[in-house]
Amino acid sequence: MYKAKAYSTASATSPLAADTIPRRDTTERDVQIEILFCGICHSDLHYARDEWHSVMPTVYPCVPGHEIVGRVTGVGSAVTKFKPGDLAGVGCLVDSDHTCPNCRDGLEQLCPNQTLTYGSPDRHLGGVTYGGYSESIVVDERFVLHVPANLNLAGVAPLLCAGITTYSPLRRWGNLAGKKVGVVGLGGLGHMGVKFARAFGAHIVVFTTSPGKKEDALRLGAHEVIISTSAEEMRQHAGTFDFILDTIAAEHDINAYLNMLGRDGNLTLVGAQEKPLAVSAFALLLGRRSLSGSIIGGIKETQEMLDFCGAHNITADVEVIPIQKVNEAYERLVKSDVKYRFSIDMASLKSE
Ligand code: NAP
Ligand code: ZN
């Protein structure tokens, strides 16, 4: 075991602050990574502030961060996929049971015995796992991804969660070429959803509560933008969508978006609000519509997504910040003021 610098929070109301955490020495299957950039996901904020208490109560101290990109600094004797000096990525998962039907199908994100990058029981050291707001991390090579060398690393980090979380449901929905696809909420997930849906050939409409994001939505690849607070704009598009990806991070009226779907249309929810949604039966019955959820993606699909991004030159639009600005960034996330992902330059942790 060794000590690593990190930023942690001690309670739901404390700011994140400098700390040191234990990391395990590399076992034979492990890859040790010096973290270069870590994205800030809204899930980090939900978890750090115990906003998912009824589903997943937060264990403190908590070190968030599951959009990790860095360089390999050490490998265990049985590691075959990585060597020191390689680029590497780690997302929301660091382990699973490898034996359940979901793992066997490459769907580790659905494994009942998975280990999340932060906040899960740590099978090696006891206590809980600590995430990427840290100078290094040690991860089983089966959960470490190869990062294409041609991409900007600050913009690659968010692909490990925001990227796969939008890529996976869009891919699963089938051939989107020419389909009318809605992306609800233009934040970290939403802006990646727009980029992927564009790459898949869809006709993309962004729903936003922020009129100031309209130009950006078009620049990112949307064909049309609806200001969702305008009843008139919403009415004009009612019943016309094939697929809608809902990335809203807070309580909202899901029926307003279900009513946008056409016949057999599907709304997939990826936004993770804690409170139950009130779903109108008629919003589903009329039009034979369906409502689904989706959570990140499996390791194989995450690698496929990263390779796709390498081939199509896709990264997140990031605002790079030093770790010392993380609390300010959280406040801005709450106000939907992010363009379109914060990426922490982990070199800033050296001065702590
Ligand atoms: P984010 O960057 O904060 O973006 C969320 C966007 O939702 C905001 O930019 C805003 O877009 C919109 N929004 C926020 N509050 C709203 C409200 N009260 N009413 C309507 N729209 C609102 O967050 P994110 O990192 O993209 O994450 C989004 C959600 O997905 C979070 O709940 C997160 O925990 C969850 N998540 C789920 C998964 C998964 O695997 N399913 C993975 C990662 C994250 P506009 O300004 O355009 O309206
Ligand atoms: Zn995330």
| Tens-digit pLDDT profile for residues 125-148 | 999 999 999 999 999 999 999 999
15: confidence class by pLDDT, cuts 50, 70, 90: very high
For the chain, the structural domain boundaries read 2-161+297-351, 166-293
Percent of the chain exceeding pLDDT 70 equals 100
| CATH topology assigned to domain 2-161+297-351 | Quinone Oxidoreductase; Chain A, domain 1 (3.90.180)
| Tens-digit pLDDT profile for residues 21-34 | 999 999 999 999 99
pLDDT, residue 150, reads 97
| Tens-digit pLDDT profile for residues 273-326 | 999 999 999 999 999 999 999 999 999 999 999 999 999 999 999 999 999 999
3-state DSSP call for residue 243? Answer: strand
Count of helix runs (H) and strand runs (E) in the chain: 11, 17
Q: Atom 21 (ligand 1): residue with closest C-alpha?
A: 248
What are the structure tokens assigned to 24, written together? Answer: 């395990």
In this prediction, residues 67-76 reach a mean pLDDT of 98
Task: For 325, list phi and psi in degrees, rounded to 5.
Answer: -100, 15
Q: What is the edge-to-edge ordering of all strands in the sheet holding 290-293?
A: 224-227, 203-208, 180-184, 241-246, 261-269, 290-293
The total number of residues shown for the chain amounts to 352
> Model pTM greater than 0.75?
yes
Q: Residue with structure tokens 């404390």?
A: 14
pLDDT, residue 189, reads 98
Q: Residue with structure tokens 């109108």?
A: 280
* From 270, 330, 332, mutation site for ligand 1 pocket: most ligand atoms within 8 A of C-beta: 270
* From 58, 248, 253, 302, mutation site for ligand 1 pocket: most ligand atoms within 8 A of C-beta: 248
Contacts of 95 (CB under 8 A, 6+ apart): 114, 115, 123, 140, 143
Give yes or no on whether 2-161+297-351 and 166-293 have one common fold. Answer: no
* Domain 166-293, architecture per CATH: 3-Layer(aba) Sandwich (3.40)
Strands 30-40 and 136-140, by their bridges, are: antiparallel
Helices (H), the chain: 42-48, 101-104, 153-156, 162-172, 188-199, 214-220, 231-237, 254-258, 281-285, 299-312, 326-334
| Tens-digit pLDDT profile for residues 168-206 | 999 999 999 999 999 999 999 999 999 999 999 999 999
